[in-house]
Copies of this chain bind each other. A is one copy, B any other.
């Protein structure tokens, strides 16, 4: 279920590299949130450089054009799960995709069981299918 939007600067990655980034992101989501392997919903938006503004809230974090903004919509998760996701994702993207941990921003929005329909017009968290 988590529905994830990934915002990137265009022209920085090949199709293969974007796919590898999505695969890595998904593996970390499975590990941190314990979702099923096929619980994968990812949408990539690529933008001209000046259409994606990412500063640092005064934290002294330097960004590059490789910056990745990950926006997650999910049912409620524990604080520990969220922190594990942030940490695991930064580590995995650095290892797998050579992404600097400075270039990763994550934001989560929470909804609930009744807010999802995965197909057939049914709310599978309510019907007992999930």
Q: How many copies does the complex hold?
A: 3
Residues on B with beta carbons closer than 8 Å to the beta carbon of A40: 53-55
Query: Chain A: interface residue count, which band?
Result: 35 or more
Kindly identify which residue among B41, B91, B101, B108 contacts A54, using a CB–CB cutoff of 8 Å.
B41
Known contacts A1-B57, A87-B122; A106/B116 CB under 8 A: yes
Q: How far is the CA of A7 from the CA of B22 in the complex (A)?
A: 17
Which parts of A84-122 form the interface with B (CB within 8 Å)?
86-91, 101-111, 114-122
A residues lining the B interface (CB < 8 Å):
1, 3, 7, 15, 18-19, 22, 26, 35-48, 50-59, 61, 69, 71, 73, 79, 82-83, 86-91, 101-111, 114-124, 126, 129-130
